[in-house]
Amino acid sequence: MRVSVLLFAIYRELAGTGNLDVSLPERSDVRALLAALRGRGRLSALPAEVSVAVNRQYAEPGTILADGDEVALIPPVSGG
Amino acid sequence: MRVSVLLFAIYRELAGTGNLDVSLPERSDVRALLAALRGRGRLSALPAEVSVAVNRQYAEPGTILADGDEVALIPPVSGG
Amino acid sequence: MAWSDVGFGEIAPAVVLERVGAGGHGAVNLFLGVVRDSNEGRPVSGMEYEAYEAMAREQLAAIVAEAERALRGGGRVAAVHRLGDLKVGETSVAVAVSTPHRAAAFEAARRVMEEIKVRLPVWKRERYLDGSPEWLGGQAPPVGAGGDRTREDRHARVGPAGPEA
Amino acid sequence: MAWSDVGFGEIAPAVVLERVGAGGHGAVNLFLGVVRDSNEGRPVSGMEYEAYEAMAREQLAAIVAEAERALRGGGRVAAVHRLGDLKVGETSVAVAVSTPHRAAAFEAARRVMEEIKVRLPVWKRERYLDGSPEWLGGQAPPVGAGGDRTREDRHARVGPAGPEA
């Protein structure tokens, strides 16, 4: 299956792009996606802990992904 | 000596006027002024406790008055 | 610089906000008191505000000056109270505070409103749709010099058989 | 009705105030976040706000809806967050609350700001007069469905050697 990964702010600059398409085994969870991303060159520098939203909802490490999901890596937020 | 007494809101309606001139012995205090006011007809109905300002500052029962002072009887305030 | 006014003109929130500026301060809090359309279930057509005007101006100036001095991290405070006949939905009081960080702005605006409710010699009378106007119950102000809260434990008001001072 | 927006247009306080109406409510609190002219002593020329826009709109709508539901005595809540390049003195965020009594208005506006700071997927970058722009440190958002604060004690973020869920 494929998921669409969105990157913002410092993570976008780290990746050099605002979005990536990632192929994963069926029923992979968020943790597996992050492990796959860390296997790529520039994203190996992702911090030890990363907040994630799946389809615009904050998600948990064990959240199971589905084909076509929109997964966003959320740096510490600083609105206001 | 004479002091000028200002009355507001319910006290003004009670007195039927917004200000009174009152003659008092020299060095009378706020308490003595209120006793004198209660001796007048309509102001005998003043409540047991009355807040007072002397020359636009909240005053105490023992505050000594001077000739020409402006003394205001302050009903419970309800601004805002 | 702290700013305050007590008068009969309409209150424009934007004007009060301008008084606390913005440039150096990241947080602005504005509180507005608005005439409600009912009180304890009775429909209200408007509100009439009366004041001991000269003293109200001095007290409000003191309240905002004290609040501004209390802003340790810097900031500005402004407040205005309206008098006369107000319609439902019109603003009777506005308080604005600007500070570097938001907690202080909330806290100072709340504090200024609390002081206004206790110290400002202003009285309001509601005009009801179904009866004659009535003065509203209020708070008995403190004794002594404005803002000297340490004296509140003394005799706050003078009774006919008041104790010796 | 709760109202919110996330967008690039200038924020007009009067417009946000209008969104919470006035008629039935005696108290209105407005909070504004304003771009400061310095940060920790460094002069700032402006601020750039980036967002995960679709999610930020949903989160802000959820924050104001939750805050409005929490107003036991009734009332309305509105909030708007601006994106893009802002100059010093421009408003980045505005929150307005109207309630029958003032304590609830202060409390709800403060709470909405706290939620925005923790949950809204927005990032700001300061432009300094004496150097290159820098992303500001922020807060790690919660895990799980928006507003579900009971889940904060679970694994909030995923580490490379994260525990089993």
D7 touching A, CB under 8 A?
no
C132 touching B, CB under 8 A?
no
pLDDT at position D103? 97
State the complex-level ipTM: 0.91
Give the bridge partners for D95, in sequence order. Answer: D31, D79
Are the Cβ atoms of D102 and C31 closer than 8 angstroms? yes
Average pLDDT for residues C7-32, to the nearest whole number? 91
CB A8, CB A71: distance < 8 Å: no
In chain C, the residue whose alpha carbon lies closest to the alpha carbon of D34 is: C26
* Nearest-10 crossing angle of helices D102-119, D53-69: 150
D157 chain-A contacts, CB cut-off 8 A: 49-52, 61
> Between A10, A49, A79, which is nearest D159 by CB?
A49
pLDDT in tens, C150-159: 333 333 467 6
CB B72, CB B5: distance < 8 Å: yes
Provide the percentage of residues in chain A whose pLDDT is more than 70: 100
CA distance, residue C86 to nearest chain B CA (Å): 12
> What's at B78, amino acid-wise?
S
Are the Cβ atoms of C100 and D31 closer than 8 angstroms? no
Is A43 in a helix, a strand, or coil? Answer: helix
Are the Cβ atoms of D105 and C14 closer than 8 angstroms? no
Smallest CA-to-CA distance from D143 within A44, A3, A30 is with A30
Are the Cβ atoms of D81 and A76 closer than 8 angstroms? no
Report strand pairing: A70-74 vs A51-54.
antiparallel
For chain C, list the strands marked E by DSSP.
Answer: 3-7, 27-34, 38-39, 42-51, 76-82, 84-87, 91-99, 122-128, 134-135
Tokens standing for D148?
């579900």
Size of interface C-D (CB pairs under 8 A): 94
| Mean pLDDT of chain B, nearest integer | 96
Is C77 in a helix, a strand, or coil? Answer: strand
pTM of the model: 0.90
In chain D, the residue whose alpha carbon lies closest to the alpha carbon of C33 is: D27
pLDDT at position D136? 85
- Using left for φ > 0, alpha for ψ between -120 and 50, and beta otherwise, residue B58 falls in beta
CB C59, CB C119: distance < 8 Å: yes
pLDDT at position D24? 65
Report strand pairing: C91-99 vs C76-82.
antiparallel
pLDDT in tens, B34-71: 999 999 889 999 998 999 999 999 999 999 999 999 99
> Between C13, C31, C34, which is nearest D13 by CB?
C13
Query: Does position A68 have pLDDT exceeding 70, yes or no?
Result: yes
pLDDT in tens, C51-62: 999 999 999 999
pLDDT at position C160? 60
What CA–CA distance (Å, rounded) separates A54 from A70? 6
Tokens standing for C39?
């009180």
What CA–CA distance (Å, rounded) separates C152 from A36? 68
For D8-138, list the strands marked E by DSSP.
Answer: 27-34, 38-39, 42-51, 76-82, 84-87, 91-99, 122-128, 134-135
Q: Are A and B touching by the rule of 3+ CB pairs within 8 Å?
A: no
* CA dihedral of residues B42, B47, B51, B54 (deg, nearest 10): 20
C121 touching B, CB under 8 A?
yes
CA distance, residue B44 to nearest chain C CA (Å): 10
C163 touching D, CB under 8 A?
no
D132 chain-A contacts, CB cut-off 8 A: none
